[in-house]
Amino acid sequence: MRAKAIALIIVLLCAAASAQDKPRRFSTTIPESEFPRLNADGSATFRVQAEQAQRVQVLLELGQSTYDMTKGQDGSWEVTTKPLLPGFHYYAISVDGFTSNDPGSRVFFAARKEVSGLEVPGPESDFFAVKDVPHGTVRTQWYFSKTTGETRRIFVYTPPGYDQNSRRYPVLYLQHGYGEDEAGWSDQGHENFILDNLIAAHKAVPMIIVNENGMTGVHFVPPPPPRAGASSNGPPPVRAVAQFFMNERYVAVDCVFSRDLIPYIDTHFRTIPDRDHRALAGLSMGGAQALRIGFHHLDQFSYLGAFSPAVDITDTTKDYEGALSDPAKVNRELHLLWLGIGTDDFLHAPVLQSHEVLEKAGIKHVWVESSGSHVWTVWRKYLADFAPKVFH
Protein backbone atom coordinates (compact mmCIF):
# COMPACT_ATOMS: atom_id res chain seq x y z
CA MET A 1 0.00 0.00 0.00
CA ARG A 2 2.80 2.36 0.91
CA ALA A 3 4.58 1.59 -2.35
CA LYS A 4 1.44 2.50 -4.29
CA ALA A 5 1.15 5.78 -2.38
CA ILE A 6 4.78 6.66 -3.13
CA ALA A 7 4.26 5.78 -6.80
CA LEU A 8 1.17 8.02 -6.90
CA ILE A 9 3.11 10.92 -5.37
CA ILE A 10 5.89 10.48 -7.94
CA VAL A 11 3.34 10.49 -10.78
CA LEU A 12 1.73 13.68 -9.44
CA LEU A 13 5.10 15.38 -9.00
CA CYS A 14 6.14 14.43 -12.56
CA ALA A 15 2.83 15.73 -13.90
CA ALA A 16 3.32 19.03 -12.07
CA ALA A 17 6.88 19.32 -13.34
CA SER A 18 5.72 18.58 -16.89
CA ALA A 19 3.12 21.34 -16.66
CA GLN A 20 5.76 23.79 -15.44
CA ASP A 21 8.10 22.82 -18.27
CA LYS A 22 5.64 23.82 -21.00
CA PRO A 23 6.93 26.79 -23.02
CA ARG A 24 5.74 30.17 -21.76
CA ARG A 25 6.11 33.56 -23.34
CA PHE A 26 7.69 36.85 -22.39
CA SER A 27 7.49 38.02 -18.76
CA THR A 28 6.27 34.67 -17.43
CA THR A 29 9.53 33.04 -18.48
CA ILE A 30 11.49 35.12 -15.94
CA PRO A 31 10.48 35.69 -12.30
CA GLU A 32 9.58 39.31 -11.56
CA SER A 33 12.54 39.53 -9.21
CA GLU A 34 14.99 38.80 -12.02
CA PHE A 35 16.28 41.19 -14.67
CA PRO A 36 16.45 41.78 -17.56
CA ARG A 37 12.79 40.87 -17.97
CA LEU A 38 10.77 40.61 -21.16
CA ASN A 39 7.26 42.01 -20.97
CA ALA A 40 4.07 40.94 -22.72
CA ASP A 41 4.34 43.69 -25.36
CA GLY A 42 7.90 42.72 -26.31
CA SER A 43 9.55 45.49 -24.34
CA ALA A 44 12.37 44.74 -21.91
CA THR A 45 12.88 45.99 -18.37
CA PHE A 46 16.44 46.37 -17.10
CA ARG A 47 17.54 46.94 -13.51
CA VAL A 48 21.04 47.31 -12.06
CA GLN A 49 22.34 48.25 -8.62
CA ALA A 50 24.64 51.27 -8.65
CA GLU A 51 24.03 53.36 -5.53
CA GLN A 52 26.86 55.85 -6.08
CA ALA A 53 26.33 56.36 -9.81
CA GLN A 54 25.21 59.67 -11.29
CA ARG A 55 24.04 58.37 -14.66
CA VAL A 56 23.25 54.85 -15.84
CA GLN A 57 22.20 53.87 -19.36
CA VAL A 58 21.28 50.78 -21.35
CA LEU A 59 23.12 50.68 -24.67
CA LEU A 60 21.13 48.44 -27.01
CA GLU A 61 22.96 47.08 -30.05
CA LEU A 62 26.11 48.32 -28.31
CA GLY A 63 25.09 51.96 -28.46
CA GLN A 64 22.92 52.27 -31.56
CA SER A 65 19.94 52.83 -29.26
CA THR A 66 20.33 54.35 -25.77
CA TYR A 67 17.96 54.39 -22.80
CA ASP A 68 18.53 56.52 -19.70
CA MET A 69 17.73 54.62 -16.52
CA THR A 70 15.92 56.10 -13.49
CA LYS A 71 17.30 55.75 -9.97
CA GLY A 72 15.05 54.31 -7.26
CA GLN A 73 15.14 54.94 -3.53
CA ASP A 74 16.97 51.67 -2.95
CA GLY A 75 19.85 52.73 -5.18
CA SER A 76 18.80 50.57 -8.12
CA TRP A 77 18.40 51.95 -11.64
CA GLU A 78 15.62 50.80 -13.94
CA VAL A 79 14.21 51.43 -17.40
CA THR A 80 11.70 49.78 -19.71
CA THR A 81 12.36 49.98 -23.44
CA LYS A 82 9.89 50.37 -26.25
CA PRO A 83 8.73 47.06 -27.79
CA LEU A 84 11.76 45.44 -29.38
CA LEU A 85 11.94 43.62 -32.68
CA PRO A 86 11.90 39.84 -32.22
CA GLY A 87 15.38 38.41 -32.41
CA PHE A 88 18.77 38.60 -30.76
CA HIS A 89 20.04 41.89 -29.32
CA TYR A 90 23.49 42.70 -27.96
CA TYR A 91 23.56 45.33 -25.22
CA ALA A 92 25.70 46.88 -22.51
CA ILE A 93 25.29 48.98 -19.37
CA SER A 94 26.97 52.38 -19.05
CA VAL A 95 27.65 53.58 -15.50
CA ASP A 96 28.94 57.16 -15.47
CA GLY A 97 30.53 56.53 -18.85
CA PHE A 98 32.07 53.18 -17.97
CA THR A 99 30.63 50.47 -20.20
CA SER A 100 30.19 47.00 -18.78
CA ASN A 101 28.14 43.83 -19.14
CA ASP A 102 24.86 43.41 -17.30
CA PRO A 103 25.39 41.12 -14.27
CA GLY A 104 21.84 39.82 -14.80
CA SER A 105 22.42 38.46 -18.30
CA ARG A 106 24.54 35.78 -19.87
CA VAL A 107 27.31 36.93 -22.18
CA PHE A 108 28.30 36.09 -25.74
CA PHE A 109 31.58 36.66 -27.54
CA ALA A 110 31.18 39.59 -29.97
CA ALA A 111 33.11 42.73 -30.91
CA ARG A 112 36.21 40.79 -29.73
CA LYS A 113 34.96 40.66 -26.13
CA GLU A 114 32.24 39.20 -23.94
CA VAL A 115 28.96 41.08 -24.44
CA SER A 116 25.52 40.86 -22.82
CA GLY A 117 22.75 39.50 -25.02
CA LEU A 118 18.96 39.36 -24.98
CA GLU A 119 16.66 37.14 -27.04
CA VAL A 120 13.21 38.55 -27.84
CA PRO A 121 10.94 35.71 -29.00
CA GLY A 122 8.39 36.18 -31.74
CA PRO A 123 6.31 34.35 -34.35
CA GLU A 124 9.41 33.76 -36.49
CA SER A 125 11.34 32.07 -33.67
CA ASP A 126 9.76 28.68 -34.26
CA PHE A 127 12.32 27.39 -36.76
CA PHE A 128 15.11 27.48 -34.14
CA ALA A 129 12.96 26.64 -31.10
CA VAL A 130 13.89 23.71 -28.88
CA LYS A 131 11.31 21.10 -29.85
CA ASP A 132 10.48 17.52 -28.99
CA VAL A 133 12.49 16.10 -31.90
CA PRO A 134 15.69 14.03 -32.03
CA HIS A 135 18.63 16.28 -31.17
CA GLY A 136 22.18 16.33 -32.40
CA THR A 137 25.25 17.10 -30.32
CA VAL A 138 27.55 20.14 -30.33
CA ARG A 139 31.03 18.95 -29.43
CA THR A 140 34.04 21.01 -28.43
CA GLN A 141 37.17 19.65 -30.11
CA TRP A 142 40.82 20.71 -29.98
CA TYR A 143 43.32 20.04 -32.75
CA PHE A 144 46.82 21.15 -33.63
CA SER A 145 47.28 23.39 -36.66
CA LYS A 146 50.66 23.17 -38.34
CA THR A 147 49.84 26.37 -40.21
CA THR A 148 49.48 28.53 -37.10
CA GLY A 149 51.61 26.41 -34.77
CA GLU A 150 48.88 26.35 -32.15
CA THR A 151 46.19 24.11 -30.73
CA ARG A 152 42.88 25.47 -31.94
CA ARG A 153 39.34 25.01 -30.68
CA ILE A 154 36.50 24.04 -32.99
CA PHE A 155 32.82 23.32 -32.47
CA VAL A 156 31.36 20.31 -34.29
CA TYR A 157 27.66 19.56 -34.62
CA THR A 158 26.88 15.91 -35.25
CA PRO A 159 23.29 15.10 -36.29
CA PRO A 160 20.77 13.01 -34.33
CA GLY A 161 21.76 9.34 -34.25
CA TYR A 162 25.42 9.94 -35.12
CA ASP A 163 26.69 7.95 -32.13
CA GLN A 164 24.22 5.11 -32.68
CA ASN A 165 25.14 4.20 -36.26
CA SER A 166 28.10 3.78 -38.57
CA ARG A 167 26.96 5.81 -41.58
CA ARG A 168 29.01 8.62 -43.11
CA TYR A 169 27.85 12.22 -43.43
CA PRO A 170 28.44 15.31 -45.58
CA VAL A 171 30.07 18.31 -43.89
CA LEU A 172 29.16 21.99 -43.79
CA TYR A 173 31.98 24.28 -42.65
CA LEU A 174 30.22 27.34 -41.22
CA GLN A 175 32.10 30.53 -40.35
CA HIS A 176 31.36 33.40 -37.93
CA GLY A 177 31.75 37.14 -38.49
CA TYR A 178 34.48 39.59 -37.48
CA GLY A 179 34.74 40.12 -33.73
CA GLU A 180 33.02 36.83 -32.92
CA ASP A 181 34.51 33.36 -32.64
CA GLU A 182 33.85 29.70 -33.30
CA ALA A 183 31.15 29.59 -30.60
CA GLY A 184 28.95 32.11 -32.43
CA TRP A 185 26.94 29.75 -34.59
CA SER A 186 25.97 27.57 -31.64
CA ASP A 187 25.58 30.27 -28.96
CA GLN A 188 24.00 33.09 -30.95
CA GLY A 189 23.00 31.27 -34.13
CA HIS A 190 21.34 28.14 -32.68
CA GLU A 191 22.66 26.12 -35.62
CA ASN A 192 22.01 22.86 -33.79
CA PHE A 193 18.31 23.54 -33.19
CA ILE A 194 17.86 24.85 -36.74
CA LEU A 195 19.33 21.64 -38.16
CA ASP A 196 17.54 19.41 -35.64
CA ASN A 197 14.20 20.87 -36.77
CA LEU A 198 15.02 20.77 -40.49
CA ILE A 199 16.21 17.17 -40.29
CA ALA A 200 13.15 16.11 -38.27
CA ALA A 201 10.91 17.71 -40.90
CA HIS A 202 12.87 15.95 -43.70
CA LYS A 203 13.78 19.35 -45.16
CA ALA A 204 17.55 18.89 -44.84
CA VAL A 205 19.77 15.84 -45.00
CA PRO A 206 21.63 14.90 -41.79
CA MET A 207 25.02 16.60 -41.87
CA ILE A 208 28.02 17.46 -39.73
CA ILE A 209 28.67 21.18 -39.15
CA VAL A 210 32.14 22.49 -38.27
CA ASN A 211 32.79 25.95 -36.79
CA GLU A 212 36.40 27.15 -36.93
CA ASN A 213 37.80 30.47 -35.75
CA GLY A 214 38.28 32.78 -38.72
CA MET A 215 40.92 34.80 -36.91
CA THR A 216 44.56 33.77 -36.99
CA GLY A 217 46.22 36.73 -35.30
CA VAL A 218 45.38 39.03 -32.39
CA HIS A 219 46.58 42.08 -34.31
CA PHE A 220 44.18 41.57 -37.23
CA VAL A 221 42.01 44.71 -37.39
CA PRO A 222 39.92 45.69 -40.47
CA PRO A 223 38.59 49.17 -41.22
CA PRO A 224 35.73 50.13 -38.85
CA PRO A 225 32.13 49.80 -40.06
CA PRO A 226 30.28 53.03 -40.91
CA ARG A 227 28.55 55.06 -38.23
CA ALA A 228 24.80 54.63 -37.80
CA GLY A 229 23.00 56.64 -40.45
CA ALA A 230 26.02 56.88 -42.75
CA SER A 231 25.51 56.35 -46.47
CA SER A 232 25.77 52.75 -47.69
CA ASN A 233 26.59 53.70 -51.27
CA GLY A 234 30.32 54.24 -50.71
CA PRO A 235 33.05 54.90 -51.57
CA PRO A 236 34.55 54.49 -48.04
CA PRO A 237 33.90 53.49 -45.40
CA VAL A 238 31.39 50.80 -46.51
CA ARG A 239 33.20 49.70 -49.64
CA ALA A 240 36.53 49.94 -47.82
CA VAL A 241 35.29 47.31 -45.37
CA ALA A 242 33.95 45.07 -48.14
CA GLN A 243 37.02 45.40 -50.34
CA PHE A 244 39.35 44.79 -47.40
CA PHE A 245 37.77 41.45 -46.56
CA MET A 246 37.36 40.41 -50.18
CA ASN A 247 40.87 41.35 -51.28
CA GLU A 248 42.65 40.20 -48.11
CA ARG A 249 44.24 36.92 -49.16
CA TYR A 250 43.47 35.08 -45.93
CA VAL A 251 46.52 32.94 -46.61
CA ALA A 252 46.67 31.65 -43.03
CA VAL A 253 42.96 30.84 -42.80
CA ASP A 254 43.04 29.30 -46.28
CA CYS A 255 45.89 27.01 -45.24
CA VAL A 256 44.22 26.17 -41.93
CA PHE A 257 41.21 24.86 -43.84
CA SER A 258 42.90 23.09 -46.73
CA ARG A 259 45.93 21.64 -44.91
CA ASP A 260 44.84 21.22 -41.29
CA LEU A 261 41.11 21.36 -40.59
CA ILE A 262 39.63 19.29 -43.42
CA PRO A 263 42.12 16.41 -42.94
CA TYR A 264 41.45 16.47 -39.19
CA ILE A 265 37.67 16.33 -39.62
CA ASP A 266 37.88 13.57 -42.23
CA THR A 267 40.15 11.56 -39.93
CA HIS A 268 38.23 12.01 -36.67
CA PHE A 269 34.62 12.00 -37.91
CA ARG A 270 32.66 9.75 -40.23
CA THR A 271 32.54 12.05 -43.22
CA ILE A 272 32.07 11.48 -46.92
CA PRO A 273 35.50 12.90 -47.81
CA ASP A 274 34.97 14.42 -51.23
CA ARG A 275 34.05 17.81 -52.69
CA ASP A 276 30.51 16.72 -53.57
CA HIS A 277 29.78 16.27 -49.88
CA ARG A 278 31.56 19.36 -48.57
CA ALA A 279 30.08 22.88 -48.22
CA LEU A 280 31.53 26.15 -46.96
CA ALA A 281 29.44 29.12 -45.79
CA GLY A 282 29.68 32.05 -43.42
CA LEU A 283 28.32 35.41 -42.33
CA SER A 284 29.90 38.84 -42.87
CA MET A 285 33.68 38.30 -42.64
CA GLY A 286 32.99 34.57 -42.65
CA GLY A 287 30.99 34.99 -45.86
CA ALA A 288 33.95 36.73 -47.46
CA GLN A 289 36.20 33.89 -46.28
CA ALA A 290 33.79 31.28 -47.63
CA LEU A 291 33.90 32.80 -51.11
CA ARG A 292 37.64 33.40 -51.18
CA ILE A 293 38.58 29.99 -49.84
CA GLY A 294 35.85 28.25 -51.82
CA PHE A 295 36.62 29.86 -55.18
CA HIS A 296 40.29 28.91 -54.77
CA HIS A 297 39.51 25.36 -53.62
CA LEU A 298 36.79 24.08 -55.88
CA ASP A 299 38.62 20.78 -55.65
CA GLN A 300 37.48 20.64 -52.00
CA PHE A 301 34.09 22.42 -51.97
CA SER A 302 31.10 22.24 -54.29
CA TYR A 303 28.62 24.32 -52.24
CA LEU A 304 29.28 27.90 -51.13
CA GLY A 305 27.10 30.24 -49.08
CA ALA A 306 27.68 33.91 -48.25
CA PHE A 307 25.35 35.47 -45.67
CA SER A 308 25.60 39.29 -45.65
CA PRO A 309 29.19 38.89 -46.82
CA ALA A 310 31.79 41.65 -46.69
CA VAL A 311 32.46 41.51 -50.44
CA ASP A 312 32.51 43.97 -53.32
CA ILE A 313 32.87 42.02 -56.58
CA THR A 314 33.44 44.37 -59.48
CA ASP A 315 35.27 42.35 -62.15
CA THR A 316 35.04 38.56 -62.41
CA THR A 317 38.12 38.44 -64.64
CA LYS A 318 40.33 40.02 -61.95
CA ASP A 319 38.74 39.52 -58.54
CA TYR A 320 39.88 36.46 -56.58
CA GLU A 321 42.98 36.41 -58.75
CA GLY A 322 40.87 35.45 -61.77
CA ALA A 323 39.21 32.41 -60.14
CA LEU A 324 35.88 33.48 -61.70
CA SER A 325 37.25 34.28 -65.16
CA ASP A 326 35.78 31.09 -66.65
CA PRO A 327 32.05 31.20 -65.75
CA ALA A 328 31.33 27.90 -67.49
CA LYS A 329 33.91 26.15 -65.31
CA VAL A 330 32.58 27.76 -62.13
CA ASN A 331 29.01 26.73 -63.03
CA ARG A 332 30.15 23.23 -63.81
CA GLU A 333 32.05 22.74 -60.56
CA LEU A 334 29.72 24.51 -58.11
CA HIS A 335 26.49 22.72 -57.25
CA LEU A 336 25.34 25.84 -55.38
CA LEU A 337 26.49 29.41 -54.91
CA TRP A 338 24.18 31.17 -52.41
CA LEU A 339 24.32 34.94 -51.80
CA GLY A 340 22.04 36.93 -49.48
CA ILE A 341 21.80 40.36 -47.83
CA GLY A 342 19.27 42.39 -45.84
CA THR A 343 17.97 45.63 -47.32
CA ASP A 344 18.89 47.54 -44.13
CA ASP A 345 22.38 46.04 -43.94
CA PHE A 346 25.22 48.56 -44.16
CA LEU A 347 26.85 46.20 -46.70
CA HIS A 348 23.77 46.08 -48.93
CA ALA A 349 25.15 48.24 -51.77
CA PRO A 350 28.40 46.31 -52.44
CA VAL A 351 26.68 42.93 -52.05
CA LEU A 352 23.87 43.91 -54.41
CA GLN A 353 26.49 45.04 -56.91
CA SER A 354 28.34 41.73 -56.46
CA HIS A 355 25.13 39.87 -57.33
CA GLU A 356 24.64 42.00 -60.43
CA VAL A 357 28.24 41.45 -61.57
CA LEU A 358 27.94 37.67 -61.10
CA GLU A 359 24.64 37.67 -62.95
CA LYS A 360 26.05 39.68 -65.85
CA ALA A 361 29.03 37.30 -66.07
CA GLY A 362 26.67 34.33 -66.27
CA ILE A 363 27.78 32.78 -62.98
CA LYS A 364 24.77 30.91 -61.61
CA HIS A 365 23.79 31.63 -58.03
CA VAL A 366 20.85 31.83 -55.67
CA TRP A 367 20.16 35.47 -54.77
CA VAL A 368 18.24 36.35 -51.59
CA GLU A 369 17.43 39.96 -50.75
CA SER A 370 15.51 40.02 -47.48
CA SER A 371 14.42 42.53 -44.89
CA GLY A 372 16.70 43.13 -41.93
CA SER A 373 20.14 44.46 -41.08
CA HIS A 374 23.52 43.02 -40.06
CA VAL A 375 22.16 40.84 -37.24
CA TRP A 376 21.81 37.22 -36.12
CA THR A 377 18.06 37.35 -36.71
CA VAL A 378 18.83 37.48 -40.45
CA TRP A 379 21.70 34.97 -40.48
CA ARG A 380 19.67 32.28 -38.72
CA LYS A 381 17.06 32.53 -41.48
CA TYR A 382 19.77 32.33 -44.13
CA LEU A 383 21.12 29.10 -42.63
CA ALA A 384 17.58 27.70 -42.58
CA ASP A 385 17.29 28.52 -46.30
CA PHE A 386 20.79 27.35 -47.27
CA ALA A 387 20.94 24.00 -45.43
CA PRO A 388 18.02 22.36 -47.29
CA LYS A 389 19.69 23.19 -50.62
CA VAL A 390 22.94 21.31 -50.04
CA PHE A 391 23.95 17.65 -50.45
CA HIS A 392 21.08 16.53 -52.68
Residue 173, pLDDT above cutoff 90: yes
Among 62, 86, 121, the domain-final residue is 121
Same domain, 130 and 107: no
Answer whether residue 104 is part of any domain: yes
Answer whether residue 321 is part of any domain: yes
Answer whether residue 2 is part of any domain: no
Same domain, 354 and 205: yes
Among 96, 121, 146, the domain-final residue is 121
% the chain with pLDDT above 70: 84
Question: What is residue 318's predicted lDDT score, i.e. its pLDDT?
Answer: 94
What average pLDDT does this structure show over 258-280?
A: 97
Same domain, 110 and 130: no
Q: How far apart are CA 265 and CA 170, in angstroms?
A: 11
Band the pLDDT of 267: cuts 50, 70, 90: very high
* Range of the structural domain that residue 199 is part of: 126-218+230-389
Answer whether residue 15 is part of any domain: no
Report CA-CA distances (Å) from 234 to 48, 225, 238, 239, 353: 40, 12, 6, 5, 12
pLDDT digits (tens, 9 = 90+) for 176-220: 998 899 999 999 999 999 999 999 999 999 999 999 998 876 555
Question: What is residue 71's predicted lDDT score, i.e. its pLDDT?
Answer: 96
* DSSP three-state, residue 200: helix
Same domain, 151 and 256: yes
* DSSP three-state, residue 92: strand
Same domain, 76 and 164: no
Same domain, 246 and 373: yes
Of 316, 335, 318, 315, nearest in space to 327 by CA: 316
Same domain, 311 and 244: yes
φ, ψ at 259 (rounded to 5°): -100, -30
**Angle at 210 (CA atoms; ends 205, 216), nearest 5 degrees:** 155
pLDDT digits (tens, 9 = 90+) for 42-73: 999 999 999 999 999 999 987 678 999 999 99
Same domain, 171 and 294: yes
Give me the chain's average pLDDT, please.
87
Same domain, 269 and 301: yes
pLDDT digits (tens, 9 = 90+) for 238-264: 777 777 777 655 667 888 999 999 999
Question: What is residue 23's predicted lDDT score, i.e. its pLDDT?
Answer: 36
> How many domains would you assign to the chain?
2
Domain with residue 29: its CATH number is 2.60.40.10
Answer whether residue 13 is part of any domain: no
Question: What is residue 227's predicted lDDT score, i.e. its pLDDT?
Answer: 55
Same domain, 315 and 383: yes
Question: What is residue 337's predicted lDDT score, i.e. its pLDDT?
Answer: 98
Residue 340, pLDDT above cutoff 80: yes
Query: Residue 367: CB partners within 8 Å, gap ≥ 6?
Result: 339, 340, 355, 359
Question: What is residue 239's predicted lDDT score, i.e. its pLDDT?
Answer: 75
Residue scoring higher pLDDT (56 or 110): 56
Domain with residue 370: its CATH number is 3.40.50.1820
pLDDT digits (tens, 9 = 90+) for 194-205: 999 999 999 999
Amino acid identity, residue 202? H
Residue 232, pLDDT above cutoff 80: no
β-bridge mates for residue 140, sequence order: 155
Residue 379, pLDDT above cutoff 90: yes
* Contacts of the segment 31-39: beta carbons below 8 A, 24+ positions apart: 34/104, 35/78, 35/104, 36/102, 36/104, 36/105, 36/118, 38/118, 38/120, 38/121, 39/80
Of 22, 110, 96, 104, nearest in space to 61 by CA: 110
Among 65, 87, 121, the domain-final residue is 121
Question: What is residue 8's predicted lDDT score, i.e. its pLDDT?
Answer: 42
Same domain, 237 and 107: no
CB-based contact 304:202 (threshold 8 Å): no
Answer whether residue 10 is part of any domain: no
Answer whether residue 18 is part of any domain: no
Same domain, 65 and 173: no
Q: Note the pTM of the prediction, 2 decimals.
A: 0.85
Q: How far apart are CA 58 and CA 48, in angstroms?
A: 10
